[in-house]
Structure 1
Amino acid sequence: MRTFRNPILPGFYPDPSICRVDEDYYMVTSTFEYFPGVPIFHSRDLVNWRQIGHVLDRPSQLDLSGVPASRGIYAPTIRYHEGVFYMVTTFVESAAGARRNFYVTTQDPAGPWSEPNWLEEAPGIDPSLFFDTDGRAYYTGNRMPPGGQRYPKHMEIWLQELDLDKKQLVGPTYSLWDGALNGIHAQEGPHLYKVGEWYYLLIAEGGTGFTHSVTVARSRSLTGPYETGKTNPILTHRHLGRGADIVNVGHADLVEAHNGEWWLVCLGSRPYGGPFRNMGRETFLAPLAWEEGWPVVNPGKGIIEEVMRAPNLPEHRWPSASSCDNFDRFALDNIWCFIRTPAGELYSLRERPGFLRLKSKPVRMTEEGANPAFVGRRQQHASFAVRTALEWEPANKSEAGIVFLSSHAYHYRLEIADAIAEEGRVIRLVRTEAGIETTLAQSPLPPEAGSRMYLKLEAYGQKLTFSYGIESEQWKVLAEGVDGTIVSTDVAGGFTGAMIGMFTVCEAGIGAADFDYFEYAPL
């Protein structure tokens, strides 16, 4: 029996949604405050995926200016209907601000996608689209129950028709779901499917943490009433305890493969070094069967496993990506992203070919809602090594280096700085925890150190080692045994996973830092 290994998208790729077009599969995930928004992936076998772009890759589509950490783009859904791809999602402006829903379209999933179609009178988060057999389109989401919340985070799932010509919701709204189990909270992430004579409603419940779950209901009528599945929740790991290898499993979407098999994608996390989820919420895959008209996830086991039976589809691998980006193209690879929508010219791959030139800004990594000069990628392994070569001539009160972060308030910076004039240039490790900065280690750079410096981070589980060198592969340890848990969701909070990347800052907003390469490799 051929097997595959979960997660199929390791690292911060939460809230997966999937659709099939003939023998091709497409999947999208949430991005919150990171830009470009909503990565889109392509697969031929449901196991091996390649990123083909981002849905929201233009400032005109997505302006994240001032958006707090873990706000922004929530839980996208991708669907395909009559030659057109649809992606619908929520834009969360602030902790207490508006939740606005919109959708974009394209005929080519690699893009470009349309400008947003903002939906009026569409409350709640986590929208989805459903195209019925008569061709009519419907929108589902969550909202406050009209009768009020009976308990904290009590929500309702609702439905309304979407007029594709007017690009707006029309007609009456319908209440589909008001809680599967007494007291289960945070009803969200609804998806509708029609299988045979039944309409099935899949719901994420229990919040996105330890008590996360997936429940199901069905009806012979689109607008209900829906009956509760007697085996609910059909998927959760909360009964496995907090020491499970995979936790907070939920927020699922279903797809029927072109061979007739059914599969489920969902989010989950892999804690390590204790109950710490540095990589955030990742994307997992599991088989699904139908028994007496109800879905059963991973029959006989009912949980997500690290090693599972592979789909009975021809294996289709994509060319392996290099562990090292030498910045030898004039476009950034799809793995890279920014904190919020870049304001102005943030970087260049043309001004010095073979280098990523990061333009200095007077914006520090500690500023909430800001767009610092940062280019980063996701942490995807519990143990990994990052190396880069930096060429930089510092201006007064400026820094450049690498940063390992959960947010502006929780991160580590290995930086070269000239902030202390009497000491000249220094290399230092700065920890930011709960917004408080502490220099953990610092060393003056020797007089023979030129403008080219080498920086390295090694993560051995939750133990971090930061090193530097003035010659290639001549490393000097600056700090070791550093606690990595501060970039975990469990310490930093929020909905994102850890990112690792390059940054620079200059109080005068002048100059640039040139990065020759950036290598990320599992250990």
Structure 2
Amino acid sequence: MVRFSNPVLPGFHPDPSVCRVGEDYYLVTSTFEWFPGVPIFHSKDLVHWRQIGHVLDRASQLPLDGVRPSGGVYAPTLRHHEGVFYMITTLVDGLMESGNFVVTAADPAGPWSEPYWLSDSEGFDPSLFFDDDGRAWVHGARPARSPRHEGHTEVWLRELDLNRMKLVGPEHVLWDGAVKGAVWAEGPHIYKVDGAYYLLASEGGTEHDHAVSVARASAVTGPYTGSSRNPILTHRNLGREHPIVGTGHADLVQTQTGEWWMVLLAMRPYGGYHYNLGRETFLTRVRWEDGWPLADEVRLTAEAPDLPAHRWPAPPACDHFDAEWLAPFWNHLRTPREPYWTLTERPGFLRLRGRPESLTDRSNPSLIARRQQHAHFAAHAAMEFTPKGEDRAGLALVQNDDYHIVLALHADGLKVIRREDGVDRTLVVADVPAGRVWLGVEAHEQDYQMLYATEPGQWRPLGDPVDGRVLSTSLAGGFIGAYVGMYLSGEGTAGGNVADFDWFEYHELPPH
């Protein structure tokens, strides 16, 4: 019996949506205020995934300017119909654009189209369903028209004219949750199985009480009747000490061998009820009983799908910045409107340009970062930087503008600054000679030990371990997992300085 390990996409990969095309599987996840938006992954076996790009990789597709933390891109849905890939999602609290939109592509690796904004839709978490008769339907969640309690939402449905990419026809309200007093019925998806229509939706809020329920109808417009076994998946009954919590926001896929599987988000708390990794993508088996789907309990290891294992080459732990473009795992905070980074000005280095923008602003700072994907990890970089005035450069561990940790070289020394609830606290300062400096962090759950070296391999700790709970959603709020990366800021001054990074490495560490 072949087994696999969960999560299949560790680190901040929430709200997964999956579709199958022949023997290939494609999956997307939410990105909120991070750019490029909506990473897209490819798999042959539902277990091993490789990133093939981003759906929203141009500023014209994704205006994130000024978006608040945990605003931006919510809950994408990926579908394939008659040779075309469709991705539908919501841009929340955008200053230039907001609402639901669709993009299309012939190749999932791109390029993807400019957005088709659905101006007469509302709410969030939109999804697409293509029926056997060729008709297409959009459905999503929104606050209930006649709310009975706080957090009362409902699922709506309208037809989509694919030629004009416009909603047409009457609106239908399908569902408002299975449990009495259910909050945040959201993340809906419709499937047609053996002639019946199934509506899968989450409820309970995307925290510990998250759950997945299902309803069934003989027509796509309803009426829908819930399963007597709802919720068909939840871990809220297993308690806060369970290693996997908050299971929900699921999507179903049937394999070419006839099996059914569910991708979903969940969290792995550690160091108390804290989850620095954010909401991750998990996989679990689905079986059918009495005409209804039932999901297996989500486990850290489980029997794998009945598909030939297909492992992709492992990406290197160290990025030497010797390619023409940034690797797809690198992200920017909000939409970059100017090229503040270059890989060609000094070949073999990532050069960041100093600008006034700071991590404490709701802006696009000079930050190149990647997801933290493990409770135990190490990250290191080699930096060449001469600070001037208020300039600072180094490593940043980011949750949002009010919660982060920075290990940066200032004019008066190398500093560790921990920011909590919008207040900075300098924890330690060290003098370092001019020239190259090596920077690092080793994390073991909520202990983040900052490191530095002024000679190759001569690493030394800088101060005591930093309390990493500021990187946890349970403390900082929102929907984002922690990021770690390279940073340069003029802290409100004009900038003009540069910081060169020769390499950056990230790898998992064994637990203590």
Tell me if TM exceeds 0.5. Answer: yes
- 1:167 match: 165
> Any stretches of 5+ residues in structure 2 without a counterpart?
none
CA–CA separation in structure 1 for the residues paired with 2:338 and 2:142: 37
- 2:101 match: 102
CA–CA separation in structure 2 for the residues paired with 1:81 and 1:477: 55
CA–CA separation in structure 2 for the residues paired with 1:205 and 1:476: 48
- 2:389 match: 396
CA–CA separation in structure 1 for the residues paired with 2:446 and 2:357: 29
Aligned-pair CA distance for 1:473: 1.1
- 2:192 match: 194
- Name the SS for the 1:480 alignment partner: coil
Residue type matched to 1:295 in 2? P
- 1:348 match: 342
Instruction: Provide, for residues 192-225 of structure 1, a one-character-per-residue CA deviation record: whole Å limited to 9, x for no partner.
Output: 0000021000001111011111000001111111
CA–CA separation in structure 2 for the residues paired with 1:13 and 1:232: 26
Aligned-pair CA distance for 1:178: 2.2
Q: What pairs up with 1:111-190 in 2 under 5 angstroms? A: 111-146=110-145, 148-190=146-188
Residue type matched to 1:163 in 2? D
Aligned-pair CA distance for 1:508: 2.4
- 1:493 match: 477
235, 238, 256: which one aligns with 1:237: 235
- 1:358 match: 352
- 1:36 match: 36
Aligned-pair CA distance for 1:99: 4.9
Residue type matched to 2:371 in 1? R
**Contact 2:152–2:184 under 8 Å retained in 1:** yes
- Name the SS for the 2:258 alignment partner: coil
CA–CA separation in structure 1 for the residues paired with 2:332 and 2:293: 39
Aligned-pair CA distance for 1:98: 7.9
- 1:327 match: 321
State percent identity of aligned pairs: 53
Aligned-pair CA distance for 1:511: 1.6
Residue type matched to 2:126 in 1? P
Aligned-pair CA distance for 1:93: 1.5
- 1:412 match: 405
CA–CA separation in structure 1 for the residues paired with 2:25 and 2:183: 32
CA–CA separation in structure 2 for the residues paired with 1:113 and 1:26: 15
**Contact 1:15–1:251 under 8 Å retained in 2:** yes
Deviates more, 1:435-444 or 1:25-34: 435-444
279, 285, 288: which one aligns with 1:287: 285
CA–CA separation in structure 1 for the residues paired with 2:317 and 2:36: 21
426, 434, 439: which one aligns with 1:450: 434
**Contact 1:18–1:253 under 8 Å retained in 2:** yes
TM-score where L is the length of structure 1: 0.96
CA–CA separation in structure 2 for the residues paired with 1:205 and 1:140: 16
Instruction: Provide, for residues 300-334 of structure 1, a one-character-per-residue CA deviation record: whole Å limited to 9, x for no partner.
Output: xxx10000110010000000011111101010001
- Name the SS for the 2:237 alignment partner: helix
- Name the SS for the 2:242 alignment partner: coil
Aligned-pair CA distance for 1:92: 0.3
446, 467, 480: which one aligns with 2:464: 480
**Contact 1:10–1:380 under 8 Å retained in 2:** yes
**Contact 2:358–2:489 under 8 Å retained in 1:** yes
> Any stretches of 5+ residues in structure 1 without a counterpart?
419-424
CA–CA separation in structure 1 for the residues paired with 2:241 and 2:257: 36
Deviates more, 1:129-138 or 1:479-488: 479-488
- Name the SS for the 1:327 alignment partner: coil
349, 356, 372: which one aligns with 2:365: 372
**Contact 1:99–1:125 under 8 Å retained in 2:** no
- 2:308 match: 314
**Contact 2:65–2:94 under 8 Å retained in 1:** no
423, 445, 452: which one aligns with 1:461: 445
Aligned residues: 507
- 1:509 match: 495
The reply on whether 1:297 has 2:295 as its aligned counterpart is: yes
**Contact 1:99–1:124 under 8 Å retained in 2:** no
Aligned-pair CA distance for 1:94: 5.6
The reply on whether 1:381 has 2:371 as its aligned counterpart is: no
Structure 1 pair 211–94 and aligned structure 2 pair: CA distance change class (3 A): farther
**Contact 1:359–1:512 under 8 Å retained in 2:** yes
Aligned-pair CA distance for 1:231: 0.6
Aligned-pair CA distance for 1:430: 0.3
CA–CA separation in structure 2 for the residues paired with 1:202 and 1:232: 11
**Contact 2:177–2:213 under 8 Å retained in 1:** no
CA–CA separation in structure 2 for the residues paired with 1:34 and 1:346: 16
- 1:432 match: 419
Please, what is the CA RMSD of the aligned residues? 1.1
Q: What pairs up with 1:248-287 in 2 under 5 angstroms? A: 248-287=246-285
- Name the SS for the 1:7 alignment partner: coil
Residue type matched to 2:394 in 1? G
Instruction: Provide, for residues 388-419 of structure 1, a one-character-per-residue CA deviation record: whole Å limited to 9, x for no partner.
Output: 0001122221000001111110010000001x
TM-score where L is the length of structure 2: 0.98
- 2:56 match: 56
- Name the SS for the 1:201 alignment partner: strand
CA–CA separation in structure 1 for the residues paired with 2:397 and 2:463: 14
Residue type matched to 2:504 in 1? F
CA–CA separation in structure 1 for the residues paired with 2:5 and 2:41: 18
- Name the SS for the 1:126 alignment partner: strand
Structure 1 pair 381–168 and aligned structure 2 pair: CA distance change class (3 A): same
